[in-house]
Chains A and B, each alone.
Chain A
């Protein structure tokens, strides 16, 4: 079957500007992923498509860079004692099931309403999920900061942990005992979102924090294990159909392996709520950006009849805003890290002068 897809036209010629663009976005995407556990894919896939790469090749090549990046990030954060491998594997496997369900939903929508309907569904999912979850996370981050920066386990998570429902599982890494039936839905939701908007972490990380009861630091690091499991599975499927352009993958990887390790280092200088703050900021900007793309699909479905020039500029602004979201996230991470390092140096100097 894969021989049918073997057609050289899907692999583009690469320009120096294109290579530098992908290296840079790879670096910034890696920085954000190393810090919040996910992110970057929402800019990389449309970014590659803007260079002329066909959609499936862009998705496949992006996914092929995602799992080694997640592996390197997870190993780095494991050294800092932030990863719960067992939790990551269980949620990752549940997420694989979610991905399969998400693909079936996508197929159904594509058959019913065509490409424009599918794109509209993706954009609406983006806006609905990211606005709902993003606002909640942002509100919580602000409240935590006001209360001195110490995170508390949510009442929902405490309640779920107290329910003895077979099979109960103990996660030594995060010191949690909870039923499988409460961890699996988090994975399913992450997988469903990954198959829809390509960033499962926007459901996975908040799910691990608010439903399972992990700290932001542990949840964001464990999400890297989830991303590895999902990315590896997804890559094998895409590569089976010959859709991976190894050149694109390796260029992005060159930048992202620098970024992901810097992001991981950054987590050791900040309080947990900063992770929530970065994640919520990115989610809300991305939601707004995808909202701007909705009129284009409504016009294609002949629901709207707006001026073509206006719709085109809204789509361009939408992509620009996605890059901006990633840039803002990277700025907050680097700023927090620089401030943390400065503070640590001052404390070390003060301790030295007191001796």
Chain B
């Protein structure tokens, strides 16, 4: 099991990586803001452009934000993690043999 220190260390590296990509993406958007706004507002099949763009940003920027909170030590309550582990631990495959009727 990873300690809080290990998680923080990993999160710091990840936040730097995702942060750099996120900043790059935002810089690109604002550098090419005018052509982007024009292209994205064409409508019709172009409606997929804003949708796919926000999916990309939510992955990159979402991971950046998540790692920043972890790196700062802001994580879910330990009791929430315990509850979840307990829930998962209770899930057991029923492998008992059963009587079946073959026609």
A interface with B by C-beta (< 8 Å): 2-3, 5-6, 8, 11, 64-65, 67-69, 71-72, 76, 79-81, 232, 235-236, 239-247, 249-250, 253-254, 257-258, 261-262, 265, 268-269, 340-341, 344, 348
Contacts and interface: CB of A to CB of B under 8 A. Distances in A.
Interface string B60-73: 01101110110000
Interface stretch (B5-13, B50-58, B93-101): B50-58
Given A2-B44, A79-B84, A239 B51 contact: yes
A268 B83 CA distance: 10
A68 B65 contact: no
A344 B61 contact: no
Contacts of A243: 41
A76 B53 CA distance: 21
A240 B68 contact: no
A253 B40 CA distance: 17
Contacts of B84: 79-81
B42 interface: yes
Interface residues of B, number: 41
Given A253-B54, A253-B61, A257-B58, A240 B43 contact: yes
A11 B50 contact: no
Given A6-B43, A81-B87, A261-B65, A269 B51 contact: no
Interface string B13-37: 0000000000000100110010011
Given A76-B66, A249-B50, A253-B54, A81 B83 contact: yes
Nearest to B41: A242
A242 B42 contact: yes
A241 B43 contact: yes
B38 A2 contact: no
6 contacts: A11-B41, A67-B54, A68-B58, A81-B84, A239-B43, A242-B41
A5 B47 CA distance: 14
Contacts of B54: 64-65, 67-68, 249-250, 253
B62 A72 contact: yes
Given A244-B50, A258-B68, A2 B58 contact: no
Contacts of B37: 11, 245-247
A5 to B, nearest CB: 7
Given A80-B81, A240-B44, 11 more contacts: A6-B42, A71-B58, A79-B76, A80-B80, A81-B84, A239-B48, A246-B49, A250-B29, A253-B58, A257-B65, A348-B78
A69 B69 contact: no
Nearest to B30: A247
Contacts of A235: 47, 50-51
A344 B78 contact: yes
A261 B50 contact: no
A254 B43 CA distance: 24
